[in-house]
């Protein structure tokens, strides 16, 4: 998709903000949150390349930066057939932006998936829309993500944010995934000892 | 009365859009405005059973398939499978039907085959489950938003192909653009009102042309 000059400027500004550290990808819903387990699976909620790639990058980073036992994407694909699959996400629509409604997620489906995976936490990421600025070929991926605790499929954290790809260069995307994983680990009290 | 006003507004919007497309949005929709174009005009397309297929699970594609389904059912003699019925008969629907690379499609091609050759098997498998005479697969591969001083216009550029079974021959092609501009009422409307409006107007234009070329009006 192409966007006008005003939005292009906005994308550039967002990019600068993200680079400067003003990037909030994850918040716990209860300030007193204490993790009840260590195992986690990072799932793509949309069966498309962008969501799958982001989920894989965040899973890798979470393994490096946190004390979570992170299920590999191969293990997930083995346990869930098919994977990736469409999971109704926390939004009413996703065209040029995501119209978020955190209550819309298909928690029944997630509960069924968790039974196959046997993990304590599911971190589910949806990237249903990507905006490409006309001339620069910079793409911003709009992402919403939720952290659920099991048993009970209780939502314990969430975030809506953007990740960027510049001219087919995935460096920014990897850096974004690093930040997402770090914030998830930090705010749930699971940051690795070496971090 | 309301219907008349809406139709008049839409007709005006369509005329305006054709002008805009002709004027310079050639890079997006290729400058082509063919809501439905038969591949072989000498070979009639008979109104039989049909399933309108969303080319992916993206909101724009799903919405367009829903609107075209509704319009075909209401306005034509085609026997139209509902989106719910498609979902029941084809688990996993909608799945992605991959498009050809943009650079492989000529800007002035009015009878584009949009799907990649490797995707034909997916469509054939879908038809085998749906058992319909026609599949009409639709995408919105491209959307733009243009902001000026006092309004924002959302453009969508639908693409589609109608296939005829048995055989799965492509008998029709869709290539067009449509826009919807914000007004003062935008303050009271949902975030996606205008983009959905552009999609709905596209569906109306597509079905207008399907009716014209297949002589299938109720």
| Residues of chain B contacting A128 with CB distance shorter than 8 Å | 58-59
Mean pLDDT of A60-82: 96
Residues 6+ apart with CB under 8 A from B118: B98
Question: Contact A95/B190, CB-based, under 8 Å?
Answer: no
Most A CBs within 10 Å, among B122, B144, B194, to test the A interface: B144
Report pLDDT digits (tens) over B98-108.
999 988 999 99
Report the pLDDT value the prediction gives residue A21, as an integer from 0 to 100. 54
Using one digit for the tens of pLDDT, what is the confidence trace for A182-195? 999 999 999 987 76
Distances (CA, A) of B30 to A142, B41, B56, B183, B207: 27, 22, 22, 28, 21
Q: Supply the pTM of this predicted model.
A: 0.81
Find the DSSP H helices in B116-192: 120-130
Closest CA to A135 of B110, B1, B27, B181: B27
pLDDT tens per residue across span B7-32: 445 554 454 444 444 333 434 455 79
Give every CB contact of residue B158 below 8 A, 6+ residues apart in sequence. B35, B64, B138, B139, B140, B174, B175, B176, B177, B178, B199, B202, B206
Whether the complex's predicted ipTM is more than 0.90 is answered with no
Asked whether the predicted pLDDT for residue A170 surpasses 90, the reply is: no
Using a CB–CB cutoff of 8 Å, tell me whether B203 touches chain A: no
Q: By the CB < 8 Å criterion, does B82 face chain A? A: no
Contact present, A73 and A55 (Cβ < 8 Å): yes
Looking at residue B198, its pLDDT comes to: 97
pLDDT digits (tens, 9 = 90+) for A5-25: 555 555 555 555 555 457 899
- In terms of Cα–Cα distance, which of A98, A100, A171, A168 is closest to A139? A168
In 3D space, the residue among B10, B138, B170 whose CA is nearest the CA of residue B62 turns out to be: B138
> What tens digit of pLDDT does each residue of B124-137 get?
999 999 999 999 99
Q: Please, are residues A146 and A90 in contact by the beta-carbon 8 Å criterion?
A: yes
Top residue of B152, B182, B192 to mutate, by most chain A CBs within 10 Å, is B192
Q: Which of B131, B70, B62 is nearest to B94 (CA)?
A: B62
Tell me which of A27-36, A163-172, B152-161 is least confident: A163-172
Give the closest-approach CA distance of A186 to chain B in angstroms.
33
Question: Pick from A39, A153, B5, A144: which is nearest to B13 by CA?
Answer: B5
- Which residues in chain B have their CB less than 8 angstroms from residue A11's CB? none
Structure tokens at B195: 């983009």
* Per-residue pLDDT at B4 exceeds 90: no
Q: Check residues B147 and B134 and name the one with the higher pLDDT.
A: B134
Task: Identify the top-confidence range among A65-69, A191-195, B142-146.
Answer: A65-69
- Residue A95 has its nearest CB partner, among B92, B146, B195, at B195
pLDDT score for A10: 54
Stated as kind and residue range, the H or E segment containing B175 is strand B169-175
**B169-175/B34-38 β-pairing:** antiparallel
Q: What pLDDT was estimated at residue B92?
A: 87
User: Which pLDDT does position B2 carry in this prediction?
Assistant: 31
Q: Verify whether the Cβ–Cβ distance A99 to B192 is below 8 Å.
A: yes
B92 and A5: CB-CB below 8 Å? Answer: no
- The answer to whether the CB atoms of A4 and B154 lie below 8 A apart is no
Interface test with A, best of B26, B28, B56, B59 (most A CBs within 10 A): B59
Q: Which of B92, B95, B144 sits opposite A2 (nearest CB)?
A: B144
**B58: which 2 tokens?**
């993206």
d(CA A153, CA A112): 10
Give residue-wise pLDDT tens across range B27-79.
445 579 999 999 999 999 999 999 999 999 999 999 999 999 999 999 999 99
Q: So what's the pLDDT on residue A94?
A: 94
Q: Give B40 to chain A, closest Cα distance, Å.
A: 31
Res. A132 pLDDT band, cuts 50 70 90: confident
Residues of B in contact with A139 (CB under 8 A): none
**Percentage of residues in chain B with pLDDT exceeding 70?**
86
Q: What's residue A166's pLDDT?
A: 79
User: Which chain A residues contact residue B192 at CB under 8 A?
Assistant: 92-93, 95, 99
Give the pLDDT confidence score for residue B8 in this predicted structure.
47
Paired sense of beta strands A27-28 and A154-166, if any: antiparallel
Q: What is the pLDDT of residue A49?
A: 85
Q: Give CA B162 to chain center in angstroms.
A: 10
Strands B49-54 and A91-94: unpaired
Q: Which residue of B has its CA nearest to A94?
A: B59
Residue A86 pLDDT level (bands cut at 50, 70, 90): very high
CA angle A81, A128, B150 (to 5 degrees): 170
Other Cβ atoms closer than 10 A to B58: 22
Report chain A's mean pLDDT, rounded to a whole number: 88
């Amino acid at each position: 998709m192409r966007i006008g000059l005003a939005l292009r400027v906005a994308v550039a500004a967002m990019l600068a903000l993200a680079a400067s550290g003003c990037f909030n990808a994850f918040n716990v819903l209860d300030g007193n949150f204490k993790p009840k387990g260590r195992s986690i699976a990072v799932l793509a909620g949309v069966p498309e390349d962008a969501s799958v790639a982001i989920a894989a990058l965040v899973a890798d980073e979470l393994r490096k930066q946190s004390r979570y036992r992170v299920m590999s994407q191969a293990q997930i694909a083995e346990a869930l057939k098919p994977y990736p699959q469409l999971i109704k996400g926390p939004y009413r629509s996703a065209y040029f932006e995501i119209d978020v409604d955190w209550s819309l997620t298909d928690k029944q489906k997630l509960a069924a998936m968790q039974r196959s995976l046997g993990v304590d936490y599911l971190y589910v990421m949806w990237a249903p829309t990507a905006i490409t600025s006309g001339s620069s070929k910079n793409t911003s991926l709009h992402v919403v993500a939720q952290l659920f605790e099991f048993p009970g499929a209780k939502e314990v954290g969430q975030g809506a944010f953007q990740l960027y790809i510049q001219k087919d260069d995935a460096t920014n995307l990897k850096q974004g995934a690093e930040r997402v994983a770090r914030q998830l680990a930090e705010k749930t009290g699971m940051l690795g000892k070496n971090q | 009365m309301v219907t008349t006003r809406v139709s008049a507004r839409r007709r005006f919007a369509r005329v305006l859009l054709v002008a805009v497309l002709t004027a310079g949005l050639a890079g997006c929709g290729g400058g082509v405005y063919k809501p439905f174009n038969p591949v072989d005009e000498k070979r009639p397309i008979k109104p039989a059973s049909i399933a309108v297929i969303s080319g992916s699970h993206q909101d724009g594609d799903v919405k367009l398939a829903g609107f075209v389904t509704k319009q075909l059912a209401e306005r034509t003699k085609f026997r139209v499978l509902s989106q719910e019925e498609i979902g029941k008969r084809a688990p996993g629907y909608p799945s992605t039907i991959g498009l050809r690379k943009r650079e492989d499609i000529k800007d002035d091609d009015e009878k584009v085959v949009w799907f990649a050759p490797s995707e034909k098997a997916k469509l054939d498998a879908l038809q085998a489950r749906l058992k319909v005479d026609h599949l009409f697969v639709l995408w919105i591969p491209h959307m733009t938003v243009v902001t000026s001083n006092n309004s924002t216009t959302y453009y969508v550029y639908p693409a589609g192909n109608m296939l005829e079974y048995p055989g799965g021959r492509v008998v029709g092609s869709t290539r067009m653009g449509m826009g919807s501009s914000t007004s003062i009422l935008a303050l009271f409307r949902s975030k996606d009102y205008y983009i959905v409006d552009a999609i709905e107007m596209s569906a109306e234009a597509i079905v207008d042309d399907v009716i014209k070329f297949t002589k299938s009006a109720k």
